[in-house]
Amino acid sequence: MIYMRGQARDYDNWAKLTGDDAWNWDQSLRDFMAHEDHYKLDGGADPATGDNSRFSDLHGSGGEWRIEKQRLRWDVLDSFADAAVQNGISKTDDFNSGDNAGVGYFDVNQRSGWRWNTSKAFLRPAKSRPNLTIWTQAQVEKLTLARGDDGALRCTGARVNRDGQTVTASANKEVILSAGAINSPQILQLSGIGPAATLRAHGIDVAKDAPVGLNLQDHLQIRAVYKVAGTKTLNKLAAKSVWQSQNRRGIPVQTLWPHEHVTQPAGCFHPALTPAAPMPTLNTTSNPSASRRLAIRCMTSPRSPSASAT
């Protein structure tokens, strides 16, 4: 539910590696802004952000993707931020300017306190369009490929398992593959696009030898939990405010909140303690979720896409 774009330098590096300027930060920023509906621009507002710039220089209004301020604050998280400032990390109220450095509360994808997901924002408003067909209980098995008159490889559609039956969906113009960081490369490899040796080892005919599926990275996470006193935590508050339905034996079976809760409401981005890491490479988030405890997670940001995979 946290709204987080990423570092401008990473987008620029993708453009450099792919040779396609459409990936760079300036181009990506236009798309971010076009889809945004940011609360700080509600009612025609446009606050100054320093250096003679306005909030609207980096954010949009009226788009599908609603971004709101969290409806909470915690004394223990304010103290966490103060401690970060004392250690040289500046406060920020916008982690999405292209430089994530700083400490503060995250903006969230919510509308009136309820989670605002991609289905609510993009899919449901478009369901009645005559040029949209939605299939559920369907899994893409592979892409269908063909070579044009010029010999170039082209995707012509997809082979899909739908309700146990294999069907082929063909495209007149283009195919957009958007299945996530794991499934997108998997589908490409199943279609014969990937490292030739890997594909042959699995009995897949090679359509194009390409480094698909390499450099997959996850966050290294270190979780530290500290016992606190003299301050409220989520569980302590929940014991007084959460309504629970119970079965006949008195065992809680459901917990309902009036609004969605962000499990990591605040955090900071900062460089690792090394001269070789001038940009923010560590993400520290804090969570007042446990009874009389503050959980702090420290995660490393992924390395450059040019780095070798592990």
- Given this model, what pLDDT does residue 281 score? 57
12: tokens are 């620029």
Count CB atoms within 10 A of the CB of residue 175: 14
- 135: in domain: yes
- 296: in domain: no
- 165: in domain: yes
Q: How far is CA 179 from the centre of its chain?
A: 13
- Sheet of 153-162: strand order equals 138-147, 153-162, 165-170
Q: Is 98 left (phi over 0), alpha (psi -120 to 50) or beta?
A: left
Count of domains forming the chain: 1
pLDDT along the chain (310 residues), means of 10: 90 94 96 96 92 90 95 84 90 90 90 92 95 93 94 94 95 93 96 97 96 82 77 68 47 44 68 53 63 56 39
- Given this model, what pLDDT does residue 82 score? 92
Q: Running DSSP on this structure, what letter comes out for residue 124? A: G
Count CB atoms within 10 A of the CB of residue 191: 24
- Given this model, what pLDDT does residue 232 score? 76
Q: Running DSSP on this structure, what letter comes out for residue 122? A: I
- 196: in domain: yes
Position of tokens 């589908």?
187
- 31: in domain: no
DSSP secondary structure, 99-121, as one string: ---EEEEPPB-EETTEE--HIII
Q: What is the pLDDT of residues 37-84, one digit of tens each?
A: 999 999 999 999 877 789 999 999 999 999 999 888 888 888 888 998
Cβ contact 189:198 at 8 Å: yes
Give the C-alpha separation, 69 to 40, whole Å.
9
What range does the domain containing 157 cover? 129-209
Identify the CATH number of the domain in which residue 190 sits.
3.50.50.60
- 191: in domain: yes
- 269: in domain: no
Count CB atoms within 10 A of the CB of residue 158: 20
Give the C-alpha separation, 43 to 37, whole Å.
11
**Backbone φ, ψ for residue 25 (5° rounding):** -60, -45
- Given this model, what pLDDT does residue 231 score? 80
234: tokens are 């989520």
Task: Provide the CB-side half-sphere exposure for 92 (13 A, CA).
Answer: 20
Cβ contact 286:296 at 8 Å: yes
- Given this model, what pLDDT does residue 262 score? 60
Give the C-alpha separation, 216 to 308, whole Å.
9
- Given this model, what pLDDT does residue 46 score? 94
- 78: in domain: no
- Given this model, what pLDDT does residue 282 score? 65
Q: What is the pLDDT of residues 15-37, one digit of tens each?
A: 999 999 999 999 999 999 999 99
